[in-house]
Amino acid sequence: MRLEILSTSLYGSIRTGATGVAAILTGVMIILGISMVMLDNYAVREVRRFVTIGGKGGKRDPIRLGKMRLPAAAIVYTIILLSVIIPVGTLILTTITHVPGVFTVENLTAEFWIGQSVKTTQEPGLLLNPGVLKATLNSLRIAGLAALISGFLGTFVGYVVAKFQNNLVARYLRQVSFLPYLVPSIGFGAAYLTLFAVPRGPIPSLYGTMLLVIIVMSIKYIPFASRAGISAMMQLGSEPEEAAMLLGAPWYKRLVRIIVPIQKSTLVTGILLPFISGMKELSLVVMLATPGTELMTTQVLRYMDYNYNQMANAVNLLLIFIVVVLTYLIQRFTGSSLARGLGG
């Protein structure tokens, strides 16, 4: 029996050209999301729980588990095994075998990685494939720029919301900045494709350009960055900025030289989350990507459509490797941590 949900119905409506049905489904999903946000805002009405001057966003107190240490460790290792080791290990095995599931010496191969011409695709292996390398660079450029733009806008939103809490514009900005998260990704991409498919006044047609993908991704991931910015600014006491104000420092200098350095960890997290999401995004960009702006995720989809599963899995592994390494390096050099969440 086929399981039908709102998102699959939306995808089917867009594919069949039923734009009216797709718009109604998108509206229903947005209304449901807004209702959940309003319920959450009603339940959590205390906006300022604690503030900090030194920038340490939270305190961690280790708890001795005693006799529960081994059972707790077993649960953690089981989760890691099921969620990381087994899926990634399965992907690796499929990329080094001619026939998946047959683990013999004769069936092992490296052609999907370094082959001059893979028999099934008639293309070079992953590490020698110019199309895959171009898609990788496109993903890094687009996701990186979109993450930086989202991070800047999120920091600005957080500053305004925290400093003008009782202002109507600040409250409006807080809610509006979360709205892109409530819109289904495929509907969000379709809307911008329709908007910029043809010239609009002084704005030329952006379809097929990298700029359109960057704009769409930046706006879609503003909720991640804005929540990080709001969290960071809400936790920061007013004393450091007031001291700078007494010395005559304008607001942008206070933001760059005082606020951002103090809450650097949380704000970097607000950039990392859009970057990670952008690297693995598919439904948002599936209708925006063209042969000149193909991404790693659309490359995976292309291989899957032609049943080139080994090549698709190899691109997935490369994507995982890039995201993990870059995330680790950024956290190492900035002192941030995704494990601590948006609260720093």
The per-residue DSSP string of 286-304 comes to TTT--TTS--HHHHHHHHH
Considering the domain architecture, whether residues 144 and 188 belong to the same structural domain is answered as yes
In the 8-state DSSP scheme, what is residue 255? I
- Assess whether 254 and 222 both reside in one domain: yes
Query: Is residue 13 within 8 Å of residue 197, measured between CB atoms?
Result: no
Q: Percentage of the chain with pLDDT > 90? A: 26
Angstrom CA distances, 112 to 104, 105, 123, 304, stand at 17, 16, 9, 14
Whole-number pLDDT of residue 158: 83
- Of 43, 75, 109, which marks where a domain is finished? 109
Average pLDDT, the chain: 82
Q: How far apart are CA 155 and CA 255, in angstroms?
A: 9
Residue 329 lies in a domain: yes
Asked, for residue 233, whether it belongs to a domain, the answer is: yes
Domain of 343, CATH number, reads 1.10.3720.10
Strand (E) or helix (H) holding 131: helix 130-163
Residue 313, exposed/middle/buried by CB under 10 A (0-12, 13-18, 19+)? buried
Each residue's pLDDT tens digit, 42-101: 655 544 444 555 545 555 677 888 888 898 889 999 999 999 999 999 999 999 998 877
Tell me the residue ranges of DSSP E strands in the chain.
Answer: none
pLDDT at position 2: 63
pLDDT of residue 96: 92
Using the CB atoms, write b or e for 135-159: b if 16+ within 10 Å: bbebbbebbbbbbbbbbbbbbbbbb
Q: What is the pLDDT of residue 48?
A: 47
Q: What is the pLDDT of residue 341?
A: 56
Q: Which residue has the higher pLDDT, 291 or 343?
A: 291
Residue keyed to tokens 């489904």 = 25
**Does residue 96 sit within a domain?**
yes
| DSSP code at position 207 | T
**Burial of 233 (C-beta count, 10 Å sphere; 0-12/13-18/19+):** buried
Helix (H) or strand (E) holding 8: helix 6-15
Say if residue 72 is in the same domain as residue 153: no
Statement to judge: residues 91 and 131 lie in one domain? no
If 0-12 CB within 10 Å is exposed, 13-18 middle and 19+ buried, where does residue 52 land?
Answer: middle
Q: Check whether residue 267 and residue 320 sit in a common domain.
A: yes
Q: What sign has the CA pseudo-torsion 318, 323, 325, 326?
A: positive
Phi, psi of 200 (to 5 degrees): -125, 95
Structure tokens at 210: 């990298």
In a domain, 182, yes or no: yes
Q: Is residue 59 part of a domain?
A: no
* CA–CA distance, 237 with 253 (Å, rounded to integer): 17
Structural domains of the chain, count: 3
Give this prediction's pTM: 0.81
Tokens matching residue 216: 């769409």
Domain membership of residue 84 as a residue range? 65-109
- Chain Cα centroid distance, residue 39: 25
Q: Dihedral (C-alpha) 87, 93, 99, 101: value to the nearest 10 degrees?
A: -60
Considering the domain architecture, whether residues 18 and 103 belong to the same structural domain is answered as no
H/E element, 3: none
Residue 323 scores a pLDDT above 90: yes
Phi-psi region at 329: left, alpha or beta (left = phi > 0; alpha = psi -120 to 50): alpha
Which residue, chain included where needed, has tokens 């997290």?
Answer: 269
Asked if 256 and 132 sit in the same domain, the reply is: yes
Calculate what percentage of the chain has a pLDDT beyond 70: 89
User: What local confidence, expressed as pLDDT, does residue 342 receive?
Assistant: 54
When pLDDT is cut at 50, 70 and 90, the band that residue 1 belongs to is very low
271 pLDDT exceeds 60? yes
